[in-house]
Structure 1
């Protein structure tokens, strides 16, 4: 997924604010659903972040065009682990591993097959 860095994404020095890399990854995860005509949130069923590891490698700047990629690390009955990478051209700027847990009525629950298929990349 391509993302343009806007002024609102940066600090006063024109550098992408650290938390916004996580937002870019969240947009890419949501986009996986949107591309398949689905929503990442269904009534009382949705994913929450259980664990995240982030590595900031280079600083993106105002007006940069970034590419956010998503890879599946693992799929289990109630969770998925994803690897997100953010590139500018061929340069890696950011990487994160995120573990998502599926909740139904606020409790961990088995992920329905139709939702698991969203992660068949």
Structure 2
């Protein structure tokens, strides 16, 4: 997914503020669902961030065009792990490993159904 860096994404020096890389990755995950006519809120539940590990490699600046790539790296019974990389002109500038837990609408963890697992595998090809 391509993202343009806007003024609102930067600090006073025109450099992307560190937390916005997390937002860029969240947008890419949501867009994967939207591209299939779905939303990240499914019939029986939704996903929440359980663990995040971020590596800030280089900075992006105002006006840069970035590309966020997302790949499934692990599927478990009630969670899955993604690797998300942000590129600027084919150079990796940020990397995120995120574990997403599947919860019901009462906020309790639940097992990922076969249908949801198939959807996750389709959206975030291993």
Same fold (TM over 0.5): yes
Q: C-alpha distance in 1, partners of 2:11/2:110?
A: 39
SS of corresponding position for 2:37: coil
Runs (4 or more) in structure 1 with deviation over 4 Å come to none
Task: State the number of aligned residues.
Answer: 121
- What is the match of residue 78 of structure 1? 78
Report the Cα distance in structure 2 between the residues aligned to 1:32 and 1:114, rounded to whole angstroms: 16
Output the CA distance in 2 between the equivalents of 1:44 and 1:13: 44
- Give, in whole Å, the separation in 1 of the partners of 2:119 and 2:32: 6
RMSD: 1.3
Task: Name the structure 2 match of 1:59.
Answer: 59
Task: Map 1:1-121 to 2 at 5 A.
Answer: 1-42=1-42, 45-104=45-104, 105-120=106-121, 121=125
Q: Would you tell me which structure has more strand in proportion to its own residues?
A: 1
Alignment TM-score, normalising by the size of structure 2: 0.91
Q: Secondary structure at the match of 1:39?
A: coil
Matched-pair contact (CA < 8 Å) for 1:36–1:118: no
CA–CA distance in 1 between the matches of 2:96 and 2:119?
19
* Deviation at residue 118 of structure 1 after TM alignment: 2.9
Q: TM-score, normalised by structure 1?
A: 0.94
Distance 1:36 1:107 in 2: 26
Once residues 30 and 114 of structure 2 are traced to their aligned partners in structure 1, the CA distance between those partners, rounded to angstroms, is 17
CA distance in 1, matches of 2:50, 2:40: 16
- Structure 2 alignment gaps of length 5 or more: none
